[in-house]
């Protein structure tokens, strides 16, 4: 991105100092930045001490064959032991690990670390009986129920890498993942609750099994949790009930220590082109990265905090910040099965009130949808327990940040805007709640131990005040090790762009402000070119969202004969704005012109009821581009709700 990139976002001048009491008692203080810089490997070795190792490493990092890293070489550990057993052995067995909240009201369960140890051991024994051996892959296709966490940990315990597939994905998506990682067993349920009704899961598994078989891959066993009690088709040769085999299994299980580089899981993430990439994470480095960041970035105080990450387990955030990070740290957390609006729109805030949640981690898309509904809903609840708020998944627009801090956090809570990826495994760029004066919309700086930079086309660091490509300049423990079965694609996708420099290319565009703080602008492929000016979708979206009638906006560049590309905006209005009034479109065009400049004025603004989003709340601009360019809408298999595109197309047939 050149100087021509507009800098509307950088006009944002609000600053939020860390609250004195958090600063005074912060887990990580400002000195950590210099300490980590002076001796990066020593710093990570120190972080690795927070885990229990059956055998200590001999070498912190082996980077002799880049980009293939080995961390904590020679070390041995068991991830499940670190997440569960060691807390029990330390006398914290009665502590609640999970306050599980089902979607139907009153359907909840508190699970202590001791109970979790029993259940994980039983599941580990059952998986072994079903023929799963160390190294075999297990697919998990479950709703947000405790068995999902139990299964992941059971897999980790026996060294069988899991691959969790989001329960909202189709049988097609599941089948392609089964085939790619050659999963031996699938763990699923009859169904799950969503928006008050029972949605089926098992039929998609049956279909996926057939589709995988058509590609020559046979799944041996399907382990089925009974969640809703709905009828399911049953294949006696393959299907087994969880309550038959897991409940009957022994609660005794000795965890084996695995090599630090033993594969822990494969998580599929969609690429811009081609089939999804199976991102491989290994045991030691990943657990060090997730537990350290969860402790540092959320300033976790395990004895008093109640932590809640609203992410689905089918997303990397659910892996790193609902399972491995918090449990390795012995935290008490909330896990919620359903949607935010079931049975009514205050459900999340009621959970925060009921469980006295102190740390809350969610995505900008959720925040913007609450903004759309208005503050009256959260205002009905007592959320004074909250002390830290987190955001992840997309750039957070300054307006959404300020609303989150003000309405949800009562102006007490720092907001940590955490930048990271499936590939990075753990948070890389984020404020520290007791150290950083936060700027709304900025992820600020790389956390201690991590080195990020914004570079130009030639890999040269851009000066403050300019934009470019976001790179990580040094290896880090929780980095992806490869793409499952495809080392070449791993090298090409992440390491070839800045090969001479040895930088990891994240695929995001970013800007450094005058203080050198980082503002992530979104995927580089989302940058458009209007009459030779490079415009970032995020900047125009933020300008739209700063208009009082707008709740959410998505901007794409559509082909234009005159300007190369033209700005097309899709806008969701806040509820209190009604239909926005007849001049809404020209009002918004004027607003963007005023906020950014004439070059960014949208050619077209479409008022829509919904936007197409992935499971992690990322807007699928590719599909909106199809609409803007009047093409047939492309592949929708990774949408969280595939009916949204119909809604949008229908809405558009009546001109706005
Ligand atoms: C954890 C997760 C990764 C992509 C990433 C970037 C976007 C995530 C962000 C952010 C700006 C943040 N992203 N966090 N952009 N600010 N705080 O989201 O992983 O699903 O792999 O997505 O998400 O574009 O490259 P994943």
Is residue 194 predicted with pLDDT exceeding 70? yes
Say which residues have a Cβ less than 8 Å from residue 572's Cβ, sequence separation at least 6: 372, 550, 551, 552, 553, 607, 608, 609, 610, 611
Range of lowest pLDDT (167-176, 204-213, 311-320): 167-176
Enclosing H/E stretch for 556? strand 550-560
Over the stretch 14-35, which tens digit does the pLDDT of each residue have? 899 999 999 999 999 999 999 9
User: Average pLDDT in the 526-540 region?
Assistant: 80
Is 531 annotated as ligand-binding?
yes
Distance CA 6, CA 540 (A): 9
Q: What's the 385 CA to ligand 1 centre distance in angstroms?
A: 28
Interstrand relation of 59-65 and 68-73 (parallel, antiparallel or unpaired): antiparallel
Confidence band of 627 (pLDDT split at 50, 70, 90): confident
Distance CA 479, CA 487 (A): 14
Is residue 637 predicted with pLDDT exceeding 90? no
Phi, psi of 249 (to 5 degrees): -75, 160
Range of lowest pLDDT (86-100, 229-243, 532-546): 532-546
**Beta-ladder partners of 164:** 140
Q: Whose CA is nearest to atom 18 of ligand 1?
A: 393
Residue 273's pLDDT is 55
Residue 646's pLDDT is 78
Is 282 annotated as ligand-binding?
no
Q: Find out whether 313 and 337 touch, Cβ atoms under 8 Å.
A: no
Over the stretch 270-325, which tens digit does the pLDDT of each residue have? 755 567 899 999 999 999 999 999 999 999 999 999 999 999 999 999 999 999 99
Phi, psi of 355 (to 5 degrees): -100, 5
Whose tokens are 């205002």? That residue is 379
Neighbours of 434 (CB within 10 A): 22
Regarding an ipTM greater than 0.95, the answer is yes
Residue 5's pLDDT is 46
Is residue 652 predicted with pLDDT exceeding 80? no
User: Average pLDDT in the 149-158 region?
Assistant: 98
Mean pLDDT of the chain: 93
Q: Whose CA is nearest to atom 19 of ligand 1?
A: 421
Confidence band of 441 (pLDDT split at 50, 70, 90): very high
Quick one: what percent of the chain has pLDDT higher than 70?
96
**Pocket test residue of 390, 420, 527 for ligand 1, highest count of atoms within 8 A of CB:** 420
Q: Whose CA is nearest to atom 1 of ligand 1?
A: 421
Ligand 1 environment, Cβ below 6 A: 269, 316-317, 392-395, 417-422, 443, 506-508, 520, 522-523, 616
Is residue 494 predicted with pLDDT exceeding 50? yes
Q: Whose CA is nearest to atom 26 of ligand 1?
A: 421
Exposed e or buried b per residue across 536-562, where buried means at least 16 C-beta atoms within 10 angstroms of its C-beta: bbbbbbbbbbbbebbbbbbbbbbebee
Q: Is the torsion defined by CA of 115, 100, 51, 254 positive or negative?
A: positive
Distance CA 121, CA 127 (A): 10
Is 545 annotated as ligand-binding?
yes
Confidence band of 631 (pLDDT split at 50, 70, 90): confident
User: Average pLDDT in the 263-271 region?
Assistant: 89
Residue 653's pLDDT is 42
Range of lowest pLDDT (51-60, 219-228, 470-479, 552-561): 552-561
Is residue 656 predicted with pLDDT exceeding 80? no
User: Average pLDDT in the 212-220 region?
Assistant: 98
Is 394 annotated as ligand-binding?
yes
């Amino acid at each position: 991105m050149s100087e021509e990139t507009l800098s509307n976002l950088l006009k944002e001048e609000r600053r939020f100092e860390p609250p004195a009491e958090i600063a005074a008692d912060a887990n990580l203080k400002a000195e950590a930045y210099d300490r980590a810089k002076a001796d990066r490997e020593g710093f990570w070795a120190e972080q690795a001490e927070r885990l229990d190792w059956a055998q200590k490493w001999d070498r912190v990092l082996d980077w002799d064959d880049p980009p293939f890293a080995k961390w904590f070489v020679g070390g041995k550990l068991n991830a499940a032991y670190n997440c569960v057993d060691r807390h029990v052995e330390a006398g914290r067995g009665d502590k609640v690990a999970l306050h599980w909240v089902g979607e139907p009201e009153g359907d909840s369960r508190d699970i202590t670390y001791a109970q979790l140890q029993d259940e994980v051991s039983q599941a580990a024994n059952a998986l072994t009986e079903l023929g799963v051996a160390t190294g075999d892959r297990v697919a998990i296709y479950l709703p947000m129920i405790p068995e999902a966490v139990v299964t992941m940990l059971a897999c980790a315990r026996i060294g069988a890498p899991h691959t969790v597939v989001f329960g909202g994905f189709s049988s097609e998506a599941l089948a392609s993942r089964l085939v790619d990682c050659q999963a031996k067993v699938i763990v699923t349920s009859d169904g799950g609750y969503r928006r008050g009704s029972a949605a089926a899961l098992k039929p998609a598994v049956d279909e996926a099994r057939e589709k995988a078989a058509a590609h020559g891959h046979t799944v041996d066993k399907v382990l089925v949790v009974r969640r809703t009690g709905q009828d399911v088709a049953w294949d006696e040769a393959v299907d087994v009930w969880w309550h038959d085999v897991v409940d009957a299994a022994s609660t005794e299980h000795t965890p084996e220590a695995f090599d630090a580089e033993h594969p822990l899981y494969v998580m599929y993430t969609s690429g811009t082109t081609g089939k999804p990439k199976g991102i491989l994470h290994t045991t030691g480095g990943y657990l060090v990265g997730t537990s350290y960041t969860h402790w540092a970035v959320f300033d976790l105080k395990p004895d008093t905090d109640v932590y809640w990450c609203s992410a689905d387990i089918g997303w990397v955030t659910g892996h790193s910040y609902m399972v491995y990070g918090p449990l390795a740290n012995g935290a008490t957390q909330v896990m919620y099965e359903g949607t935010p609006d079931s049975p009514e729109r205050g459900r999340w805030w009621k959970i925060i009130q009921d469980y006295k949640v102190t740390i809350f981690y969610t995505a900008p898309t959720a925040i913007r949808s609450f903004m759309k509904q208005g503050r009256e809903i959260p205002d009905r609840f007592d959320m004074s327990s909250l002390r830290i708020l987190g955001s992840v998944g997309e750039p957070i627009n300054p307006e959404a940040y300020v609303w989150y801090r003000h309405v949800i956090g009562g102006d007490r809570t720092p907001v940590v805007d955490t930048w990271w990826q499936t590939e990075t495994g753990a948070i890389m760029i984020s404020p520290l709640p007791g150290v950083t004066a936060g700027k709304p919309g900025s992820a600020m700086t790389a956390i201690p131990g991590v080195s990020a930079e914004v570079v130009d086309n030639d890999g040269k660091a851009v000066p403050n005040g300019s934009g470019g490509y976001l790179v990580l300049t040094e290896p880090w423990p929780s980095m992806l090790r490869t793409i499952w079965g495809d080392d070449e694609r791993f090298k090409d996708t992440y390491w070839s762009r800045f090969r001479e420099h040895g930088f990891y290319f994240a695929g995001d565009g970013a800007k450094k402000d005058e203080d050198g703080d980082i503002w992530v602008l979104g995927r580089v492929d989302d940058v458009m070119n209007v009459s030779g000016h490079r415009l970032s979708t995020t900047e125009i979206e933020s300008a739209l969202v700063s208009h009082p009638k707008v709740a959410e906006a998505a901007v794409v560049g559509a082909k234009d004969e005159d300007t190369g590309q033209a700005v097309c905006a899709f806008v969701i209005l806040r509820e209190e704005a009604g239909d926005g009034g007849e001049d809404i479109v020209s009002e918004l065009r004027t607003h963007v012109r005023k906020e950014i400049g004439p070059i960014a004025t949208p050619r077209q603004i479409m008022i829509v009821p919904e936007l197409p989003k992935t499971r992690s709340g990322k807007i699928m601009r590719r599909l909106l581009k199809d609409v803007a360019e009047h093409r047939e809408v492309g592949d929708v298999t990774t949408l969280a709700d595939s009916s949204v595109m119909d809604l949008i197309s229908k809405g558009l047939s009546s001109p706005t």
